[in-house]
Amino acid sequence: MEGGRSAEDVVVDFTGGTKAMTAALTLATVGKGFAFSYVGGRERSKEGRGIVITGSEQIVRRRDPFVLYAVHERWRLAQYFNRYQFQAAESVARELQERPLLDPDRVSFDFITQVTVGYEAWDRFGFDDAQRTLKNACRKWALAIRANPALRYADLHPIIEAHVSRLELIQEKTRRLRDVHPVLAEDLLANAARRAEEGKFDDAIVRLYRALELGGQVAVQRTLGCGTDKVPLDQVPLSLRDEYRQRYEQQSNFVQLPLHATYRLLDALGQPEGNQFASRAEEFKKIQSARNGSWLAHGLSPCRDETYGALSLLVREILAIEEGPSFPKLDESV
């Protein structure tokens, strides 16, 4: 405070003035840590409905009503978090940390700040940052919950623990993203579902296509021990070899395969992903046509919910996988 005074030294008296002045004073000072007071009384005129009778005055003093005001801030935090607007959620959580709250709530908002940072990293495929941040939050939060099981957001702890394990699995299976693995395709499906939940169907479909491409890369790696960017021609079945040499050869005796060529190769090799893709070729063409007309492909028509839903189901069935875990939700009825 200016003049060397702290918030605890200030008392806001809103007894006098018009209703508008009283409201303005309260709004200007709420949330600052000041005390609030007004002059009431033991007796009032008009059978208790009028003014305070002289001689019966009482000064009523209350703490800063920010406890009530914070309900709105927690609601905003929950709304941002639940809509995957993690940077906005983090900003609100940090603001709440800086307010003069009771210690238990300060600990809770410190925890939820770390959680928003972790899920923001996960949402942009920063698996390493997400795993490290959420694991650190879980470790500290477990100690706090043991001391006080009633802490706000305590119900999130087991969910986040499970998600830390999931992130560790992704790191393990991919050798810290050096290898492709089905868990990455599953995570792409979950990421696509979040974009669809936001109504961003073009963004969602881009992720579904990448999941399908990645699933093909996984299958080729499993079958031939190489990536789709460098497939030895002598590993390509004779029925496709000449065509692939002419269309996809990047260096002598190696071909680099796009999505369709990858799944044709897998079908010729008798792999389930290729067989599934071949059997659903007409269905895929219809979905692809809708996608090709979208803003993020080659056209000017936004993708629709139905296009996303059909492609999501198709990808899951072709790759025989389900989408990864859903992100937790905060209670908005605070």
- Same domain? 191 vs 278: yes
Residue 115 lies in a domain: yes
Decide: 327 and 84 in contact? Cβ < 8 Å: yes
Decide: 248 and 256 in contact? Cβ < 8 Å: yes
- Same domain? 15 vs 26: yes
Structure tokens that stand for 111 in this block: 């925890």
Give residue 20's identity as a one-letter amino acid code. A
- Same domain? 150 vs 195: no
- Same domain? 49 vs 116: no
Final residue of a structural domain among 125, 155, 179: 179
Q: What string of pLDDT tens digits covers the 334 residues of the chain?
A: 455 677 667 887 777 667 788 778 767 776 666 777 776 666 666 665 566 667 666 666 666 666 656 778 889 999 999 999 999 999 999 988 887 655 568 889 999 999 999 999 999 999 999 999 999 999 999 999 999 998 999 999 999 999 999 999 999 999 999 999 999 999 999 999 999 999 999 999 999 999 999 999 999 999 999 999 999 999 999 999 999 999 999 899 999 999 999 999 999 999 999 999 999 999 999 888 888 888 888 888 888 899 999 999 999 999 999 999 999 999 998 6
Residue 275 lies in a domain: yes
- Same domain? 173 vs 89: yes
- Same domain? 7 vs 93: no
- Same domain? 229 vs 162: no
pLDDT digits (tens, 9 = 90+) for 269-282: 999 999 999 999 99
Rounded to whole angstroms, the Cα distance separating 40 from 91 reads: 39
Residue 329 lies in a domain: no
Residue 120 lies in a domain: yes
| Residues spanned by the domain of 82 | 66-179
Final residue of a structural domain among 132, 150, 179: 179
Task: State the chain's maximal CA–CA distance in angstroms.
Answer: 106
Final residue of a structural domain among 153, 179, 205: 179
